[in-house]
Structure 1
Amino acid sequence: MTTSRPIRARIFRAALQHNYRVARRLAPAARAWAVIKANAYGHGQWRAVDALREEADGFAVLECENAAALREAGITQPILLLEGIFSARDARAVGEYGLTTVVHCLEQLALLLDSVKPGIPLAICLKLNTGMNRLGLNAVDLRRAREILAPLPNVDLTLMTHFAEADGERGVAEQLARFRKMAGDWRGAVSLANSAAILRHPQTHGDWVRPGIMLYGASPFADQSAAELGLQPAMALESEIIAVQQLTPGDRVGYGGTFVAAQPMRIGVVACGYADGYPRHAPSGTPIAVMGQRTRTIGRVSMDMLACDLTAIPEAGLGAPVTLWGNGLAGQVPADDVAAAAGTIAYELFCALAPRVPVDFVD
């Protein structure tokens, strides 16, 4: 898509590859699912696949249709359905395309086995509820699922769980202990570690790790930056200054006049707003970069525009480059910093990137 409006996003192939290799280096004994759900966290599923298809051990998606499209595009690695199947059609596709599917309840297992022709090889990840209380089998249902699957030929079985607090102070110890108790004498493959656990809890690495947000160069931790973790931002959101205003003390900016100038100021209007995916709730003071210098947003974010402080950047006028987040031409602004200022997380920023924003895939 091309547009005369100056906003654009750039996705960096090398950063995606670098971040995947960080996960592999931290968990050298494990294979790694590249998690590309939610359109690769807003970066574009096909861009992520293009960057990683030569080295990813497998890909993890949400929808069966996406998994089938990957197979039809020539992806031969394992493809994991993170929430499993939703219909008999999905179940048949698991057999037809050789997909790996999560099974998180007995009803889902019954649907799978009733829909797939007998004897077709199946790769199943039995998901255990170890404290997240979102998806997963309890101990009784896990035992029943294993009993059902035990006599069946051609079933490749993995046990998995998902950590609720791998990024926090409580960590994974309680959930890991529950997993081990539920797994009992299980000696087969396990998949436990999300990005936070890959980075901070090596005892969870197991046989398959599931790097998600770290692939895209953001940190899962509030107390540690992506740069400190050795990650590179995979997305830069950039625009330009399209107007400049001179303020006198008492002048207000934007809808609701939420920002009031306390002194003479020079502000710039940026071609980016909440219809582009920038968080409307980002307050004055959210970091932004103009012409290589970090500054701050001013006032309320509009649908198509936002304002920033140019008082200390007198050389910035119409057409001056702006970085909203990422490693952009106008400077570096970590998405985690923008998200923290807006009271959200980088995951949401990336996923909210609007379809109207042109995207360049940079080699």
Structure 2
Amino acid sequence: MRPLTAHIDLDALRHNYLQARRCAPQARAMAVLKANAYGHGAAACAAALGDLAPAMAVACLEEGQALRAHGIKCPIVLLEGFFEVSELDEIITGGYWSVLHTPWQVEALLERLAHWPQHRLTVLIKCDSGMHRLGFSPDEIQNICQRLRTHEGIEQTLLMTHFATADVPDNPLLTRQLETINTLRSRLDLPGCFANSPATLSAPASHHDWVRPGVMLYGVNPLERHHPLHDEINQVLQPVMTLESRIIAVRELPAGEPIGYGARHVTRRPTRVGVVACGYGDGYDRHAKEGTPVLVDGQRVALAGRVSMDMLTVDITELPEAGIGSRVTLWGRDASGATLSVSEVARWCDTIAYTLLTGILPRVPRCYHRSDAPKTLIDAGVLP
């Protein structure tokens, strides 16, 4: 079979979740599994975190339904709330926690709760504390929270916000957002759910009752490289996805020969070229530049030429032992122990790690690894 595989280390996932809890020991941590767990496979990641996470978060009801179908029982937070009134019956009865960020959602929810007097719902009121994407203005929050807190169908109301610049050190916008939301929380006496991954790692004043670790769960450092905690976090988090393939052909070319579409790369010396089974049809970024690092048998080599739909080419001249069948790590942890960060690869592609991880397409099989994988996960088809 085609050798390209995304290996998912579920032990590393659990390790990273526990790091989030250690960063915010007084808070509970909801594991963010939206976008198919950032491309890692939501069902398997949820099952692996099931005995650790008191709640999980997804973008929408469809993602929540997929987790429920795989036996996930804990509360599932819908980070964008609901989009149509028709979703509400399942949300109310299905153990979901809904974010509310617009007036129509509040009105629709309160009206629908009257049809389910035996059910009580937890909601998260989203405050736009300065990001200006979703949420109520701080001036609107008090009246909305008062209505919800006094409604017999609401079991619990949490105050929520999202930070725009928590990955940057000493950013004034983060300071303003924290001041706004912490003042509101104190005034309303509500549990707070504020911290995303970078705030969980670097802004203790944002932790409060709940944190929402997302990309950090998958071993990606969300802090900017000039952040004083950046290098420390790199040492703490473990990569969860290793995108691995093999060399399927080797070409021996003299100097002056072009490689690949557009003849972008022209050899400057006699060159051995390894052809790797991975391309933009798998989700590897077509915009990867000349020199993008790749590991071949644990050794760094460089991309040579444009990425094709199903293949890419690397210069293996300095690795005379490399050949057909040699192991290729596009990012992640090589079997030899060498590591190539997906964030580093993303910089060569002028993008971010999020886009690379979520962009891995369905034709790439995910192979899940966990040292203590319960037999129930294997029987459910979640783990191989």
Fold conserved between structures, TM > 0.5: yes
Change (3 A) 1:158 1:299: same
Matches of 2:224 and 2:275, distance apart in 1: 30
Give SS of 1:175's match. helix
Matches of 1:309 and 1:211, distance apart in 2: 38
Instruction: Render the CA deviation track for 1:119-142: whole Å, top value 9, x for unaligned.
Output: 431101000001111100012321
Change (3 A) 1:326 1:126: same
Q: Which residue pairs with 2:324 in the alignment?
A: 318
Instruction: Render the CA deviation track for 1:237-293: whole Å, top value 9, x for unaligned.
Output: 000111111222221111111112222221111000000110000011111000110
> Cα offset for 1:229?
4.5
Change (3 A) 1:358 1:185: same
Matches of 1:321 and 1:157, distance apart in 2: 51
Change (3 A) 1:30 1:229: farther
2:363 is equivalent to residue 356 of structure 1: yes
What is the aligned-residue identity percentage?
44
Q: Which residue pairs with 1:288 in the alignment?
A: 294
Q: Which residue pairs with 2:26 in the alignment?
A: 29
- Amino acid corresponding to residue 146 of structure 1 in structure 2: C
2:256 is equivalent to residue 250 of structure 1: yes
Change (3 A) 1:190 1:167: same
1:93-108 correspondence to structure 2 within 5 Å: 93-108=90-105
Instruction: Render the CA deviation track for 1:93-135: whole Å, top value 9, x for unaligned.
Output: 1211121110011111111112223543110100000111110
Choose the corresponding residue for 2:203, options 201, 204, 217: 201
Higher mean C-alpha deviation, range 68-77 or range 238-247: 68-77
Determine if contact 2:219/2:239 at 8 Å carries over to the other structure. Answer: yes
Gaps of 5+ in 2: 371-384
> Cα offset for 1:182?
4.1
Give SS of 1:49's match. helix
- Amino acid corresponding to residue 140 of structure 1 in structure 2: D
Determine if contact 2:196/2:214 at 8 Å carries over to the other structure. Answer: yes
Determine if contact 1:149/1:155 at 8 Å carries over to the other structure. Answer: no
1:209-220 correspondence to structure 2 within 5 Å: 209-220=211-222
Determine if contact 1:87/1:111 at 8 Å carries over to the other structure. Answer: no
Instruction: Render the CA deviation track for 1:199-255: whole Å, top value 9, x for unaligned.
Output: 111111110000000000111123135862401111010001111112222211111
Give SS of 2:234's match. coil
> Cα offset for 1:183?
4.1
2:89 is equivalent to residue 82 of structure 1: no
Choose the corresponding residue for 1:277, options 277, 283, 294: 283
> Cα offset for 1:75?
2.7
Instruction: Render the CA deviation track for 1:69-110: whole Å, top value 9, x for unaligned.
Output: 434544332211000011122221121112111001111111
Higher mean C-alpha deviation, range 10-19 or range 321-330: 321-330
Change (3 A) 1:69 1:358: closer
2:339 is equivalent to residue 332 of structure 1: yes
Q: Which residue pairs with 2:120 in the alignment?
A: 121
Matches of 1:162 and 1:86, distance apart in 2: 19
2:241 is equivalent to residue 238 of structure 1: no
Change (3 A) 1:74 1:266: closer
Matches of 1:293 and 1:225, distance apart in 2: 22
Higher mean C-alpha deviation, range 60-69 or range 127-136: 60-69
Which TM-score applies when normalising by structure 1?
Answer: 0.95
Instruction: Render the CA deviation track for 1:45-82: whole Å, top value 9, x for unaligned.
Output: 11101110011121001121332443454433221100
2:274 is equivalent to residue 268 of structure 1: yes
Matches of 2:20 and 2:187, distance apart in 1: 28
Give SS of 1:228's match. helix
Q: Which residue pairs with 2:158 in the alignment?
A: 158
Matches of 2:2 and 2:324, distance apart in 1: 13
Which TM-score applies when normalising by structure 2?
Answer: 0.90
Q: Which residue pairs with 2:348 in the alignment?
A: 341
Matches of 2:265 and 2:192, distance apart in 1: 52
Determine if contact 1:81/1:101 at 8 Å carries over to the other structure. Answer: yes
Matches of 1:58 and 1:16, distance apart in 2: 16
Matches of 1:242 and 1:98, distance apart in 2: 48
Q: Which residue pairs with 1:39 in the alignment?
A: 36
Matches of 2:147 and 2:317, distance apart in 1: 69
Once superposed, what is the RMSD of the aligned Cα atoms? 1.6
Change (3 A) 1:197 1:110: same
Determine if contact 1:106/1:141 at 8 Å carries over to the other structure. Answer: no
> Cα offset for 1:6?
1.0
Matches of 2:41 and 2:62, distance apart in 1: 15
